[in-house]
Structure 1
Amino acid sequence: MNFTTDTYNTIDGKTIFYYKWPSNKNTTLKGIVQISHGVGEHAGRYKPIARILQDEGYEVYANDHRIHGKSAKSDAFLGFYDGNNYFSDAINDMRQLSEIIKKEHPNKKIILLGHSMGSLLSREYVTKYGDDLEALILSGTAGFMKGLGSVGLFSAKFLSKINGKHRSNELLKNLFFTQFNKKFKPNRTKVDWISSDKNQVDLFEADPLRVEDFSLSVFLDILKGSKKINKSQTFLNTPKELPILIFSGDKDPVGEMGKGVKKVAKRYKKSGIKDLTFKLYKGGRHEMLNEVNKKEVEQDVINWLNERVKA
């Protein structure tokens, strides 16, 4: 089915690119899904799940986060950030897309689907704007990694003071992405950690909009944001009536091979979330929507949504 694209201007003068997949005209509109993508990728990679949601009666919106995809001014600016707080800026950009959605669909609440970095942004987002949401879906989310996260945060702060926040750094890139990939030796590519589906890995590696290198401040702000959202206050400030679906692969290094994401689910449950669903897929890596069993995952997401959203 067809999709359209458009842009909007942020409060600090950036241009954000977004996709819109209208719902199937032959079905009753059930709800609106807003997607928040992960670091280094772009919203265009979510076309397969967006089209499935379309056919099921959902309208889908997804923006390329700033410095990602077509929101970057040019290929030379992919990954380059010159702002003060990437985490906050990205959340504000998401909010502006939500406002566009609300104007176009004033009688519908939004289902927010966040993957990886997008899931971290979404977890902070719901503490501020959760009342506008009908449900929250978290893919490939993470706890704050005490070892790697703490070392990364210290390194990013130190290197930012020496080199400046807006410069890239090979050390930090290797600290995270290379460490993730080491779990799957012998490595065929640099991104084996995202999926066990070789075709999906090759597609991602060849994607011209894939970002490998980032300004230091992006690493720093994401790590700060991750530490913040994994503190008790964030869980407590999440609306208790908001249905939450968390899914991940048990071989996802971002979720600490299931351990980190299990902790996140337990903390939401402990904080009083009334409708929490947690699913860990055996053998799955970081991108369950691009895994060898993606059809199973897609159907699980649709079934969960249809049970909670009234047409």
Structure 2
Amino acid sequence: MGFTTSTFKTVDDETIFYYKWPSDKNIPLKGIVQIAHGVGEHAGRYYPIAEKLQNEGFEVYANDHRIHGKSVKNHDYLGYYDGDDYFLDALNDMRKLTEIIQKEHPKKKIILFGHSMGSLLSREYVTKYGDDLDALILSGTASFMKGLGPVGLFSADILGKINGKHRSNELLKSLFFTQFNKKFKPNRTKVDWISSDEDQVDLFEADPLRVEDFSLSVFRDILKGTKKISLTETFENTPKDLPILIFSGDKDPVGEMGKGVQKVANKYKKAGIKDLTLRLYEGGRHEMLNEINKNEVEQDVINWLNDRIKA
């Protein structure tokens, strides 16, 4: 069925690019899935799951976060951020897309699907706008990493004062992405940590829209955001009746090999979330939708949705 693309203007006059995968008109519309992608990638990578959701009676919207994908003036601006709070800006952009969805589909059910950084943004999003949502799906999410999180945040603050927050920084990139990859030595590529499927890893490495270098403030703001959403109040401010699916690989270094993901699930459970599902896939790395068992994962997501969202 394919997709369409469009753009919208933000409150600070940035242009945000987004995709729309229309639902199958021969199937009753169940709801709208809004996807928030991860750091360094772009929304176009989600076309396989978007097409499957189309065939299940869902419509899918996904924006390229600012400084990502096609939400930049040109390739030179990929990863460059000169704002005050990247986490907040990206969150507000997601809200703008939700408002577009609400205008085009009044009173229709909306499901928020966030991967990695997108999952962190989504966890904050539901504390503000959770009443507008009917379900939340978190892929490759994380807790505030013990050791690495505080060290990274401290380093980002110091380096920002020395070098300026808008410049990229090899030290921070190494601190995170290189550390993630070390879990899978001997390394074949710089991004072995995303999937055990070598074809998917190669596709990502060759993707012209992949972002490797970021302004220092992007690291800092994501770390600050992660620290904030790891507080008890974030979990307690999540609507108790919102169904939540959390899935990840148990070899995902972002999720601390499952431990961080389990910690997030436990905090939601303790906060009183009534419908909480956690799936940790054995041997899976960071991108379960691009793993060797991706068909199984996609079907699990669809089955979970169909059990909760009726046309």
**Partner in structure 2 of residue 155 of structure 1:** 155
Is structure 2 residue 36 aligned with structure 1 residue 36? Answer: yes
Deviation at 1:31, TM superposition (A): 0.5
Give the fraction of aligned pairs with identical amino acids, expressed as a percent.
Answer: 81
**Partner in structure 2 of residue 12 of structure 1:** 12
Partner-residue secondary structure (3-state), 1:242: coil
Is structure 2 residue 148 aligned with structure 1 residue 187? Answer: no
**Partner in structure 2 of residue 121 of structure 1:** 121
Unmatched 5+ residue regions in structure 1? Answer: none
**Partner in structure 1 of residue 295 of structure 2:** 295
**Partner in structure 2 of residue 252 of structure 1:** 252
Deviation at 1:25, TM superposition (A): 1.3
Q: Which amino acid aligns with 2:176?
A: F
**Partner in structure 2 of residue 206 of structure 1:** 206
Q: Which amino acid aligns with 1:237?
A: N
Q: Which amino acid aligns with 1:16?
A: I
Distance (Å, rounded) in 2 between the aligned partners of 1:256 and 1:282: 14
How is 1:21-32 mapped onto 2 (pairs within 5 angstroms)? 21-32=21-32
Distance (Å, rounded) in 2 between the aligned partners of 1:221 and 1:78: 17
Deviation at 1:5, TM superposition (A): 0.1
TM-score normalised by structure 2 residue count: 1.00
Partner-residue secondary structure (3-state), 1:211: coil
Partner-residue secondary structure (3-state), 1:262: helix
1:140-190 Cα shifts (integer Å, max 9, x gaps): 000000211111000000000001110100000010000000000000000
**Partner in structure 1 of residue 175 of structure 2:** 175
**Partner in structure 2 of residue 284 of structure 1:** 284
Distance (Å, rounded) in 1 between the aligned partners of 2:72 and 2:285: 28
Distance (Å, rounded) in 2 between the aligned partners of 1:217 and 1:72: 17
Distance (Å, rounded) in 1 between the aligned partners of 2:72 and 2:227: 27
Is structure 2 residue 74 aligned with structure 1 residue 69? Answer: no
Q: Which amino acid aligns with 2:253?
A: P
**Partner in structure 1 of residue 225 of structure 2:** 225
**Partner in structure 2 of residue 53 of structure 1:** 53
Q: Which amino acid aligns with 2:223?
A: L
TM-score normalised by structure 1 residue count: 1.00
Distance (Å, rounded) in 1 between the aligned partners of 2:2 and 2:254: 33
1:48-70 Cα shifts (integer Å, max 9, x gaps): 00000000000000000000000
Deviation at 1:2, TM superposition (A): 1.3
**Partner in structure 2 of residue 143 of structure 1:** 143
Q: Which amino acid aligns with 2:208?
A: P
Distance (Å, rounded) in 1 between the aligned partners of 2:144 and 2:107: 37
Alignment length (residue pairs): 311
Is structure 2 residue 96 aligned with structure 1 residue 92? Answer: no
Deviation at 1:73, TM superposition (A): 1.1
Distance (Å, rounded) in 2 between the aligned partners of 1:229 and 1:156: 19
Q: Which amino acid aligns with 1:194?
A: I
Deviation at 1:109, TM superposition (A): 2.4
**Partner in structure 1 of residue 266 of structure 2:** 266
Deviation at 1:264, TM superposition (A): 0.3
Question: Does structure 1 retain, via aligned residues, the 8 Å contact 2:68–2:209?
Answer: yes
**Partner in structure 2 of residue 131 of structure 1:** 131
Distance (Å, rounded) in 2 between the aligned partners of 1:309 and 1:182: 40
Partner-residue secondary structure (3-state), 2:285: coil
Question: Does structure 1 retain, via aligned residues, the 8 Å contact 2:30–2:109?
Answer: no
Q: Which amino acid aligns with 1:159?
A: L
Distance (Å, rounded) in 1 between the aligned partners of 2:123 and 2:273: 13
**Partner in structure 2 of residue 238 of structure 1:** 238
